Structure formats: structure tokens, C-alpha cells
Amino acid sequence: MNALPAAAGVGVRLAGVGTALPERTLTNDDLAALVDTNDQWITKRTGIKTRHIAEDGTTTCSLAVDALRAALNEAGMQPGDLDMVLLATMTAEMSCPSTAARVVHEVGATPAGAMDITAACSGFVYGLNHAETLVRSGHYKTVAVIGAETLSRITNYEDRGTCILFGDAAGAAILTADEDTSRGCLAQTMRSDGSLWGELYVPRTADDLPEKHDGFTGRFNTLQMNGQEVFKFAVTTTQAIIDETLEKAGITPADLAAVIPHQSNRRILELVKKRMDLPEGKMVINIDKYGNTSAASVPLCLNDKVAAGELKEGDLVLFVAIGGGMCWTTSLWKL
């Protein structure tokens, strides 16, 4: 391994991770009762077996609050230790106020700063990069990043091309200043190409439809996706930004303790894993249990890895995500 890039500013460590999942689940067999699909097709084409679905009364905000409380508990911190909460979601209950502001109030962290991030499935990793920079700058000591979604509320359960994919969940991570300046983000990318927005979008009215919308399912306020195009885009961009990020840091896939990707589709992840020549177990894949939970999927994976005791101080971990926008991003960390 070559020398890692010199880090400037304050060191940053991940102090705690937490998640929240609705109790209710929706299996592939449950979906087969709703649309023309079956367990075999869903398992083979996506890797998903089941997903969690919010009950009445469970919201993006309530899941985010539960995940943040769990992360604070893991970090051994109090709500008052938080200087800022960044919350990534594409399913905020309201456009104003931010969900983050309500979460800060609910957990008792007032007057910590609060802001939502809208970068679809890339939102948590975008948030991680922003939070790390806030702490590294020395202006903020402790920042929480949350990915929280209730995708079931924007899913058309008559569209078999999308309803099989999505689940509800939240995950949170607490970042805090560390005296070891080599800890934290070593390299990152945050990209977008808005010319592709019509491949994955949630139209409110006919005014929102892209010029070419022959794939529109006819149901407003639900997610519309050109699955094949998004699939191809995900494979190529994910591979390209991983290469670029590792090159920036002067390391190779063999140096990584773990790759923690957004859980879009098992086939996408297997293709990337093969191309990187990653040994079995290094790429975290848990899509079978939760489906695609958009901004929540990366912290769900991180939490699984931490809970299994498979990450230690000094490990190099690569986070990567791609989603609507289109937006795509990486964050390479030394824990």
C-alpha cells in the first residue's frame, strides 16, 4: 500500500451507529398476492427476500428519531452533545420544516443545527461527506448523519417493476472530532447529472412529467423508474467512482476492510464486486433482509458490520451510492 494522503484539520471518528426498522414485513410471497410476480423472479433478479414496511403512525421522522437515539446510545453520548443533524431522505413528510429540525427537537438536542439533504439513494453518503468536512474544519465537534425513508408511502403497489424493490428504515451515524488527524475521510466524490432525472422521479402533477414519459405508470406521487437504464448507469458509474476514489487515496481494493454500498440490486453489487476482485465477505450485502431502502441502506449495512464486530480502528472502509438525480458518490474512510 502506498502512503495515504496527508489529512488536514481535525481527525474524525465514527462514534456510534444505530438503526430503526418498522416491525411489519412484506415478503416476496406477500407481493405475489398483489401483482403478477413470484419469489423466484424477485430473488433471482434482485436478491431481495423481504422488506420492512411502516405501520400507520410510523413516519420518516419517527424512524429517524429511533435510529438517532440508538446511535447516541452506542456512542455513549447525550443529545446535548450534538452540534448538528443532517438528515438524508426522499420521503420527508413535509417540504417545510425539515425533518431534521423535528428530529433535533424530539431527541432533545435543541438548539443543534438541522438540515435535510435531498440526494435520493446517495443522500446518506453525501451527508457523511458534508458532516465529515464540518467536523474536520474544527467549526463543529459532533455531527449526526441520518438516512431515513418511508418509501412504501411513494410506492405504487400495482407496478411490479418498482414495488418489489423498496422498504422502509432509518440509520444514523455520529461523527465526532478525534485527536488523531489521520482518522476520517481520505478521499471522496459527489457527482450529479440532472439530464437523466426522468429515469427516476416522483411526479406530483402532470407538470412534473418529463418530455418523454411513455413509462409513466399513471399514478402521481409514486416513484417512476426506468429500471434497465438505472441498472446500466449504476454499474458503470459505481465502478468508475470506486476506481477514481481509490486512486486518489493511492490504495487498491486489497487494502480495504469493507465496501459498504447502497443496496440497489444484488446483481449490480455482484458485478461491481467481481470487477474489483473483492474477496468474499468484504462487500456488505444485506438487501435480502431489507430491500432497497434508499438513503437508509448504507447505515443499515454499516450497523450490521459494526454489530458483527467486523470493523476496528484503522480499517479502511469505502462507502458508495448512486440514485435519483442522477447523483452518485463515494466516501473512503480510515476508521
Nearest CA-CA partner of 85 in 66, 98, 70: 98
Buried b / exposed e over 84-121, threshold 16 CB at 10 Å, is bbbbbbbbbeeeeebbbbbbbbbbebeebbbebbbbbb
C-alpha cell at 24: 411489519
CB of 110 to ligand UT7, least distance (A): 33
- Spatial distance between the Cα atoms of 124 and 292, rounded to a whole number of angstroms: 13
| 213 in active site | no
For residue 263, the minimal CB distance to ligand UT7 (Å) is 8
Q: Which is nearer to ligand UT7, 16 or 323 (CB)?
A: 323
| φ/ψ bin of 228: left (φ > 0), alpha (ψ from -120 to 50), beta (otherwise) | alpha
Which range binds ligand UT7 by CB under 6 A, 130-138, 204-212, 225-233, 248-256? Answer: 225-233
**Set 129, 156, 292, 303: catalytic member:** 292
Q: Which three cell numbers stand for residue 84?
A: 448538528
Spacing of C-alpha 207 from chain mean position: 29
Q: Is 156 annotated as catalytic?
A: no
Which residue is it, cell 450490521?
Answer: 304
Asked if residue 231 binds ligand UT7 (CB under 6 A), the reply is: yes
Q: Which of residues 72-131 bind ligand UT7 (CB under 6 A)?
A: 121
Among 105, 141, 160, 191, binds ligand UT7 (CB under 6 A): 160
28 sits near ligand UT7 (criterion: CB under 6 A): no
105 counts as catalytic: no
Q: Which of 145, 162, 142, 143 is nearest to 154 (CA)?
A: 162
Q: Please tell me which residue in 28, 52, 61, 121 is annotated as part of the active site.
A: 121
- In this chain, which of 137, 221, 228, 236 binds ligand UT7, going by CB under 6 A? 228
Contact 182, 133 (CB under 8 A): no
Cell of 324: 435519483
Whether 109 and 166 have beta carbons less than 8 Å apart is answered as no
Taking the C-alpha atoms of residue 214 and residue 225, their distance in angstroms, rounded to an integer, is: 11
**What distance in Å separates the CA atoms of residue 184 and residue 135, rounded to the nearest whole number?**
10
C-alpha cell of 15?
462514534
Q: Which of 323, 331, 332, 333 binds ligand UT7 (CB under 6 A)?
A: 323
Restricted to residues 184-203, the positions that interact with ligand UT7 (CB under 6 A) are 200
From the candidates 28, 130, 262, 303, give the one annotated as an active-site residue.
262
Interface with ligand UT7 (CB under 6 A), residue from 89, 292, 303, 331: 292
Closest CB 272 distance from ligand UT7, rounded Å: 12
Nearer to ligand UT7 (CB atom), residue 181 or residue 217: 217
Name the 3-class secondary structure at 26: strand
Stretch that binds ligand UT7, among 11-19, 20-28, 123-131, 226-234 (CB under 6 A): 226-234
Least distance in angstroms from the C-beta of 273 to ligand UT7: 15
172 or 268: CB nearest ligand UT7: 268
Residues taking part in catalysis:
121, 262, 292
Residues that bind ligand UT7 (CB under 6 A): 37, 41, 45-46, 121, 160-161, 164, 200, 227-228, 230-231, 234, 264-265, 292, 323
